[in-house]
Amino acid sequence: PCSRLGAARGAAGGGRRAAVAPAQAEAATAAPTLTVLFDSNVAPGLDWDFHPEQRQLTVKLGEPTTIYYVAKNRSDHTQVARAVFNVTPDEIAPYFFKLECFCFTNERLEPGESARMPVQFYVDRQAAADGTAKDIRAITLSYTFYPQTGLSPEEAAQARDLAAGSAAEAQAQAAGEAGDFVNDAPRRW
């Protein structure tokens, strides 16, 4: 499952929280907005292009939004990678919820293969009432892909097919069948 970077710290602080996205009617009412910046990184040793389709987007608190990242294997051999993500500033992280996606699992791309990966998220409206988060107007969602080396051919073959898996996730999200939004960051009470 896709978890916030430092998920172990989050789990120790109360564990993973699941939530159902706010109803569209509720989200459509006047709500504060913030700008979400989308960042992407590829660790050394992984010959992939990886980027968001858009670099930033203004969203309303409580309103589910879908964006896409794209990855392409530039090498002449199958590569397996694993992504982690981070939401900053830290004060907003407890209010950032997203559907499970392409991180924290081994993902496989064949030579020259590309994948378009959906990320559906929302920022909880309760952020506007938190004294440490209410004045934040811009946040960054950052993903980094790391190569998974030393895998046996069987382990590499068992990695999720990133292109097919992402296409299936996009269909499930579009049909409203993608599951609950999750957040691993502990809230400060």
Under 8 Å between Cβ of 1 and 100:
yes
Question: Is residue 37, in this structure, part of any structural domain at all?
Answer: yes
Residue reference for tokens 């292109």: 163
Instruction: Report if residue 135 sits inside a domain.
Output: yes
Cα separation values, 35 from 4, 41, 102, 157, 172, Å: 19, 20, 23, 39, 26
Look at the alpha carbons of 84, 90, 94, 96 in this order and tell me if their dihedral is positive or negative.
Answer: negative
Give pLDDT tens digits for 122-162: 999 999 999 999 999 999 999 999 999 999 999 999 999 99
Is position 115 within any domain?
A: yes
Asked if residue 127 is part of any domain, the answer here is yes
What is the reported pLDDT for 103?
83
The angle subtended at Cα 91 by Cα 35 and Cα 82, nearest 5°, is 75
Domain assignment present for residue 5? The answer is no
How many domains are contained in the chain? 1
Q: What's the predicted TM-score (pTM) here?
A: 0.81
**Hey, what are 89's tokens?**
């500033």
The whole domain housing 136 covers 29-183
Asked if residue 18 is part of any domain, the answer here is no
For range 164-177, the mean pLDDT: 84
185 band by pLDDT with thresholds 50, 70 and 90: low
pLDDT score at 110: 97
